[in-house]
Chain A
Amino acid sequence: MDSLKRVLRTPLGVGALSMLGLVFLLAIFAPLLWGEAASETDTAHLLAPPSAEHWVGTDSLGRDLWLRTLVATRLTVLLALGATALGVLLGILLGSAPALLGRRIGRFVTAAVNILVAFPGLLLCLFFAVIFGVGEVGAVFAIGLAGAPTFARLCHTLVAGVQERDFVTASRIAGRSRAYVLFKHILPNIAEPLVVQATIGAGSCLLTFSGLSFLGLGVQSPAFDWGRLMNEGLNRIYLNPLAALAPGLLVITAGLAFNLTGEAIARAFNVETSGSWVTATAAARTAARKVPAAFSAANTVPREVLRVTDLQVGFPGSNPVRGVSFDLRPGEALGIVGESGAGKSLTGLAIAQLIEPPGQVDGEITFLGMPLRPDGGEDQRKLLGTSMALIFQDPMSSFNPARRIGEQLAEISRVHQGMNRRAAWERAVDRLRAVRISDPQRRAGQHPFEFSGGMRQRAMIGMGLMAAPKLLIADEPTTSLDVTVQQQVLDLIDSVREEEQVALILISHDLTLVAERCERILVMYAGRVVEDIPASALAVAQHPYTRLLLAAVPTLATDLDSPLAVIPGSQPDPSTQFSGCAFAPRCPLADDICRTREPLLRNAIPPIDDTRKKPGLGITLKTSRMRLELNLGGKPGSPVHTGQVACWHKGEPLPAPTLIDDDLPDETLAGVGR
């Protein structure tokens, strides 16, 4: 009853079940009500066309064809159900054979079923119809047997899925017989999909049966079902098309009723997958979109590769990126760090113009002097295709599995640089060599699945180098790789950057990685940049969030027995509205100002000490629980914060628990809290 209610909750379920109900009502009551009238001969109206008296006309004996069509419902449905029952029963037997009879016989049965499944049902049907003979009983057997393999295959798959579950294994270990396990544990657990399939199966049995009767191989005179009536009606289609069409219409209706009911049951018991986006909002946003200034043929070569001003990314109901601005010089390496959900990946995608509706990008992005627009024309496509390269997190899925690596690289040169097939292929091989893939000629001819993860990521970088990139956006390029491979890939990115003077945006959640590889770091929180800081100055970071992040980085010196440091609380959801600083709820320094007014990015406070005299300083921070050692890679320059910070309390020491290593001069302190 409960399951019936679930099916009835959807419009599809209501519609399908009422259709099916109608068919069953007809099957039960039509013969009782009109059974006699349907076999009454009217010699005055032989082969009459449709009239007020006979809606669908009469047959050669003057019997009313409409009544005969209605009365035929019972036989049609009964025969279809009979065939279905036979098919389902046989199917379950064959499908559970491996579970019931053991592996060896089971494998044989499965192989046989697999061979039979390859043949269309109708062919099997004809084959069995020959053996069982023409007639309704023969047809029931033929259709039932023909449907069994498909059902068996499904049943087998389902049984195999349940068989390895713990409760089944437990029952088997407890010494229960195979039959007991099958009927007590396995079949009840696959009942729902079986019911769905049986219902849909009943629909196709009905259609097949009508087909056989239509061919004259099923129900024989004087009995009649819809197929038989159509068979008789087809010969007279010029004189009385309705004679064939009326039973045909009922066949379609009944078939659809079974199919849709099956579908409705399936939906009622599965989770709906397609989400419903609010498309209206997206449309409204598109209309309100600011039109960026037209691309003026810039006669002055821009000093920066990329200029981002007040970048915003919105989706219906949320604003994951809320105003990001920065510039990028040629060859500069910029890291973007933050927790997941901080908006760093979306920032990268927005710069690359890869946000798709319903996502919406606002703000200005100027790349190599050209303002980028979501609907940018051919010029923009060419510029981005040749000058901006992207590397994504998962190299396993970022290549098209159906095409050769070489082809995928060569495509860029073919599309954007007009190279011919051979030249583009040579370029691809050359680029693969450039990213240190051995035997590039052979490798180029391989498919992605023949590459390891690290090789794919290198090939991905090679793809970015096909033309003449000026900017490389790498979004978590090493997250899914082994640690040793990570270093290789990052080294490769470094050398590419040096050799080709490519600017880099490295997006990562890993602060130490970014600090090692980049000159400048944007720390993002809840869709905003909270600190824009030279990597060399991390030790004197002024935003509490940056400092807490630093403190949460474990090092070799971290006490393994202590729990990893974490920042308590979590980022605000991008769909919520809040006033004040987004970090305030988690910030040890937060006060009333922080909670009411959002701080803007302002220059970091100037250093008040003489730290600039100590270049390449290594810093050791120590908390009550852990020691943090940050090696700034010997980069020249003193830790002076020349960037920007968005905080009302920038640079203020964090409250206890704070512990400072006594060995260090006071000037280098960074507050550390937990």
Chain B
Amino acid sequence: MSALENAASGGDFLSAGARHWVRFALRRTGQLLVSLWVLITAAFAMIHLIPGDPVRSSLGLTASQELVETTRQNLGLNDPLPLQYWHFLQGLVTGDLGMSITSRLPVAEIVATRFAATAQLALSAFALSVVVAVPIGVAVAVRTRQGRGRVLDLGFAGTSVVLGSIPDFLIGVILVWIFSVSLHLLPVGGRTGLSSYILPVLSLAVGPAAILSRIVRVEMLSVLEADYVRTARAKRLSATRIHLGHALPNAVTASLTLGGLMLSGMVAATVLVETVFAWPGLGSTIVQAILVKDYPLVQGVVLVYGCGVLLVNTLVDVAMTILDPRSAVIR
């Protein structure tokens, strides 16, 4: 029975638990709306904050004044600011993100075709790092608690610090060197079949996995000393049940905040990793767009990335509240 069902079965009056949920939902929605507004406004303001004429700098010094003027007209940049803002919001609601200056394609279309490639990368990397890091963190915690396993402890600390400090794109370069250049096992780049996913996903996952496993270990170590774990042992549950059923959920709750940061960080890290692997996603798109000063396209991708991050953060908060209902009350 989930907490939601429980809240719903409260009957004709709202139980205390359900009230917490309603309050949490309201507050979280409020937060989300404010953040979304900030994001949209920032994306809108971006073009206007660029020193000089963005269209001129985008089209280059050689472009005719006439072309610049037409483009400005097309982009609506000659309208008064509030009107432009209004049009921008209207566009968002109807899914119109404007036109790319360089390719003259609708931004929404470009974003739509590239979105999946990026989302696949980020999500598989996130799944991989969680699947690898949580068991490692738990196992190391169980084996190093109360000063046991000093060698394992040191080895783990060293490895995870080093792996966690290498930026993703460098891991990408190193992986390319090992598996593509030296061993000729995997493609060096592009998005062609399953094998082309391996290296980009790995380069995104290694660093976060190292950091996450450290956090899981620390949380697990403190949870393993908790009174309720002693209670679980007094109930004579198997070690697996104690570690995975009683300790892990509490350790994960605390690690989840970091997990959320990790996932949104991964979304951002795709920018670099996609460039290493010439991956046809949003990341390589935004880098190219910035370099050629295709501002409407930049704007569109920034919005999508920002929304992705907000979505992840909200999901993490909801997950956390389900796992640990106290957090809905306390926060």
B271 at the interface (CB under 8 A from A): yes
Interface presence of B126 (CB below 8 A): no
Q: Is the CB of A126 within 8 A of B271?
A: yes
Contact with B265, one of A120, A216, A403 (Cβ below 8 angstroms): A120
Contact A118 B173 (CB under 8 A): no
Q: Is the CB of A127 within 8 A of B46?
A: yes
The verdict on B35 contacting chain A, using a C-beta distance below 8 Å, is yes
What residue in chain A is nearest B42 (Cβ atoms)? A127
Chain B residues, Cβ within 8 Å of A230: 170, 173
A133 CA to B305 CA in the complex, in Å?
Answer: 20
Q: Is the CB–CB distance between B271 and A215 below 8 Å?
A: yes
B167 touches A210 (CB 8 A): yes
Among the listed stretches A61-69, A255-263, A659-667, which one makes contact with chain B, having 4 or more residues with CB under 8 Å of it?
Answer: A255-263
CA separation between A505 and B52, bound complex, in Å? Answer: 83
Please determine whether B324 and A401 come into contact, CB atoms closer than 8 angstroms: yes
Contacts A122-B272, A248-B170, A449-B329: A130 and B290 contacting too (C-beta < 8 A)? yes
Q: How far is the CB of A457 from chain B (nearest CB, A)?
A: 12
- Would B228 and A415 count as touching, CB distance under 8 A? no
In the assembled complex, the Cα of A134 lies from the Cα of B249 at a distance in Å of 45
With A277-B147, A445-B6 as contacts: A255 and B305 at CB distance below 8 Å: no
- Specify which chain A residues have a CB less than 8 angstroms from the CB of B227 in the assembled complex: 392, 394, 397-398
Interface string of A214-250 (1 = CB under 8 A from B): 1111000000000000100010011001001100100
- Give the residue of A120, A126, A256 whose beta carbon is less than 8 angstroms from that of B264: A120
A382: chain B residues at CB < 8 Å are 236
Interface residue from B16, B35, B161 paired with A115 (Cβ < 8 Å): B35
Give B164's nearest chain A residue, CB to CB.
A259
Cα separation A241 to B235 with both chains bound (whole Å): 58
The B-contacting residues of A in range 192-212, CB under 8 angstroms, are: 203, 207, 210-211
Instruction: Convert B255-276 into 0s and 1s, putting 1 for each residue whose CB lies closer than 8 angstroms to a CB of A.
Output: 0000001001101110110011
- Give chain B interface residues in 11-25, CB to chain A under 8 Å: 15-17
Closest to B182 in A: A241
**Which secondary structure dominates where chain A touches chain B?**
helix
Closest to A116 in B: B38
Q: Which of B1, B147, B165, B313 contacts A118 (CB 8 A)?
A: B313
- Chain A CB count within 10 A is highest, among B34, B235, B298, for B235
- For B147, the chain A residues whose CB sits under 8 A away are 274-277, 279, 358
Residues in A with CB closer than 8 Å to B26 are: none
Question: Is A354's CB within 8 Å of the partner chain B?
Answer: yes
**Cβ-closest chain B residue relative to A394:** B227
Residues of A128-179 contacting chain B, CB below 8 A = 129-131, 133-134
| Chain A residues, CB < 8 A from B265 | 120, 122
- Chain A hits for B290, CB < 8 A: 126, 129-130, 134, 217
Beta-carbon nearest neighbor of B310 in chain A: A118
Any chain A CB within 8 A of the CB of B93? no
User: Does B131 sit within 8 A of A, measured CB to CB?
Assistant: no
Within B115-161, which residues are at the interface with A (CB < 8 Å)? Answer: 146-148, 150, 161
A-B contact count (CB 8 A): 193
Q: With an 8 A cutoff between CB atoms, is A381 at the interface?
A: yes
A412→B174 CA distance, assembly (Å): 51
Residue B309 CB within 8 A of the other chain: yes
Task: Please give me the residue from chain A that is nearest to B178 by CB atom.
Answer: A241
| A447-B328 Cα distance, complex, nearest whole Å | 13
Contact of A397 with B226 in the complex, beta carbons under 8 Å: yes
- In the complex, are the beta carbons of A126 and B167 less than 8 A apart? no
B291 at the interface (CB under 8 A from A): yes
Q: Assess whether A354 is in contact with B233, with CB atoms less than 8 Å apart.
A: yes
* Inter-chain contact A234/B228, CB cutoff 8 Å: no
Chain B 312-331 near chain A by CB (<8 Å), digits 1 or 0: 01000000000111100100
* A274 CB contacts on chain B under 8 angstroms: 147
Cβ-based interface call for B302 (8 A): yes
The answer, yes or no, to whether A364 is at the interface (CB within 8 Å) is no
With A120-B264, A214-B272, A277-B147 as known contacts, state yes or no: A354 contacts B323, CB within 8 Å. Answer: no
Check A252 against B302 for contact (C-beta < 8 Å).
Answer: no
Query: For residue A245, which residue of chain B has the nearest CB?
Result: B177
| B 237-256 binary contact with A (CB < 8 Å = 1; else 0) | 11001000110011001000
Q: Which residues of A contact B40 (CB under 8 A)?
A: none
* A643 CB-CB contact with B under 8 Å: no
Q: Does A486 contact B (CB under 8 A)?
A: no
Do B323 and A131 have beta carbons less than 8 Å apart?
A: no
| Known contacts A260-B161, A357-B146; is-contact A237 B249 (Cβ 8 Å) | no
Contact in complex: B253, A402 (CB < 8 Å): yes
* Residues of B contacting A442 in the complex (Cβ-Cβ under 8 angstroms): 15
Q: When A123-B268, A130-B298 are in contact, do A237 and B176 touch as well, CB less than 8 Å?
A: yes
A255 and B324 contacting across the interface, CB-CB below 8 Å:
no
Interface string of A426-446 (1 = CB under 8 A from B): 000000000000000010011
Evaluate contact between B264 and A356: CB separation under 8 angstroms. Answer: no
Q: Are B268 and A238 in contact (CB under 8 A)?
A: no
- Please report which residues of chain A, range 461-478, place their CB below 8 angstroms from some CB of chain B when the two chains form the complex: 463
Roughly how many angstroms separate A368 CA and B231 CA in the complex, as a whole number? 22
Of A121, A207, A216, A401, the residue contacting B291 (CB under 8 A) is A216
B228 and A401 form a contact (CB under 8 A): yes
Contact A356 B228, beta carbon cutoff 8 Å? no
Other than the known A217-B290, A416-B236, what 15 A-B pairs have Cβ atoms closer than 8 Å?
A112-B38, A119-B309, A122-B272, A131-B50, A215-B271, A216-B291, A230-B173, A241-B181, A357-B148, A384-B236, A385-B235, A394-B227, A403-B249, A411-B245, A412-B235
**Taking beta carbons and an 8 Å cutoff, which residues of B are in contact with A?**
1, 6, 15-17, 34-35, 38, 42, 46, 49-51, 146-148, 150, 161-162, 165-167, 169-170, 173-174, 176-177, 180-182, 188, 226-228, 230-238, 241, 245-246, 249-250, 253, 261, 264-265, 267-269, 271-272, 275-276, 286-287, 290-291, 295, 298, 302, 305-306, 309-310, 313, 323-326, 329
Please provide the 7 A-B residue pairs with the shortest distance between their CB atoms, ordered closest to farther. A385-B236, A277-B147, A120-B268, A122-B268, A397-B227, A390-B234, A400-B228
Interchain Cβ contacts under 8 Å between A and B, 14 examples:
A119-B264, A122-B269, A131-B46, A215-B272, A237-B173, A237-B177, A244-B177, A251-B170, A259-B161, A277-B147, A358-B147, A392-B231, A397-B228, A400-B232
